[in-house]
Structure 1
Amino acid sequence: MPAIDPQSLIDRYIGVWNEPDPGARRKTVHDLWAEDGLHILRPPQEMHDKAVGLGFTTAVLEARGHEELCARVERAYEDFVAPGTYLFRVQEAPVLLRDVITFRWESYNRQEGRAAGGGREFLVLGEDGRIRLDYQFVE
């Protein structure tokens, strides 16, 4: 695996969720995630509880591969960043251990001037240094 600068990788990771240019977002997704990369989201408690209430035993959301990842990032951008409400940013510096990077992030409410939510990320990198598995825990 190539030498990884965890801060640089995380800055690019957070940046893609805030990127206004669709072409730049798509290119960054392709650069950051492996072709078959998987983003696994444990949704917020309210969404989880609704799914369980519908009879699901677990509520986990997944996006696999560049096309689904591009759609996931685009939807998050359109719903949260484009309206001018939120900005995603790193809350806690990343820590690298072999092929895993973990860090905390927050959604900063620009209108209220404070963090409105956030979560923890666990990224498992492939041999080429791109993200194979992206575990996201929204808090």
Structure 2
Amino acid sequence: MSDAHELISRYIAAWNQTDPAARRAAVDGLWVEDGTYVDPLASVEGREAIDATIAAVQRQFPGFEFRLSGPVDAHHNLVRFGWHLGPAGEAESVVDGFDVAVLTEDGRLRDVHGFLDKVPAA
């Protein structure tokens, strides 16, 4: 379980990394080459596309940060966790969701499936 928590902490850190080179290095270290990320707003495959998706979210929500919203739960090759997205340093989130990650045998991300529970009003 501590390995899953450490992996997801790195995953959240990648979503918060605004330096393009450091973010790409984080993505490369987390995902397999043909990994996927899917949520209601995005469906991408490959590290380059995952990195571009993270960059797009950062442009949409400048100055915001992702935070875990509770414990990381894992069994077999699956990990689930909740998260909040909101202004850095503030308790109130603007977006809440949870993700389910499918891991490879060596503990890297193969697929991440995201769900949105709270989103800003249009």
The normalised TM-score by structure 1 is 0.77
Q: Give 3-state SS (helix, strand or coil) of 2:107's partner.
A: coil
Q: Distance in 2 between matches of 1:13 and 1:111?
A: 19
Match of 2:40 among 39, 42, 56: 42
Match of 2:57 among 54, 68, 76: 76
Give structure 2 stretches of 5+ with no counterpart.
118-122
1:91-130 to structure 2, matched below 5 A, reads 91-110=69-88, 113-130=91-108
Q: Given that residues 125 and 131 in structure 1 are in contact (C-alpha distance below 8 angstroms), is that contact kept between their aligned partners in structure 2?
A: yes
Q: Distance in 2 between matches of 1:77 and 1:27?
A: 17
Q: 1:4 to 1:38 in 2, by over 3 A?
A: farther
Higher mean Cα deviation, 108-117 or 25-34? 108-117
State the Cα distance separating 1:38 from its structure 2 match: 0.7
Aligned-CA RMSD value: 1.8
Q: Give 3-state SS (helix, strand or coil) of 2:106's partner.
A: coil
Q: Distance in 1 between matches of 2:24 and 2:58?
A: 12
Q: Which has the higher contact order (CA 8 A, sep 6+)?
A: 1
- The answer to whether structure 1 residue 88 and structure 2 residue 66 are counterparts is yes
Deviating runs (4+, > 2 A) in structure 1? 108-113
Match of 1:67 among 44, 48, 54: 48
Aligned to 2:10: 12
Identity of aligned residues (%): 33
Q: Distance in 1 between matches of 2:90 and 2:107?
A: 37
Q: Distance in 1 between matches of 2:86 and 2:44?
A: 24
State the Cα distance separating 1:4 from its structure 2 match: 6.6
Q: Distance in 2 between matches of 1:113 and 1:7?
A: 21
The normalised TM-score by structure 2 is 0.87
Give structure 1 stretches of 5+ with no counterpart.
44-60
Q: Given that residues 4 and 129 in structure 1 are in contact (C-alpha distance below 8 angstroms), is that contact kept between their aligned partners in structure 2?
A: no
